[in-house]
Amino acid sequence: MQASDRFNINSQLEHLQAKYVGTGHADLTRFEWAVNIQRDSYASYVGHYPMLAYFAIAENESIIGRERYNFMQKMLLPCGLPPEREDD
């Protein structure tokens, strides 16, 4: 692998990290990473009707729209409030 290849790969990675929030970066905290994972999961559940129906049946909800609403509400704070930042 040549130096130009490494530079190209790193620039592509930086481009992806800037374009898509969930790909992460070096300064990403554990809490931010967990929030991204949870939001991606909830968005997938809402977007796939069979999965949404499965969750509605599992939670004994008669209306799938209610389950969709619950998932969308959970997307606001999926992991609770962020921890206090320690300023260095």
Give tens-digit pLDDT for 38-68.
Answer: 999 999 999 999 999 999 999 998 899 999 9
- Give alpha helix (H) positions in 48-86: 49-58, 64-74
CA distance 50 to 44: 11
CA distance 10 to 12: 5
Give tens-digit pLDDT for 21-37.
Answer: 767 777 888 898 899 89
Q: Which two tokens stand for residue 45?
A: 């559940």
Taking the domains of the chain in order of start, what are their residue ranges? 29-78
Greater pLDDT, 75 or 25:
75
Contact between 34 and 79 (Cβ < 8 Å): yes
Model pTM score: 0.74
CA distance 49 to 65: 10
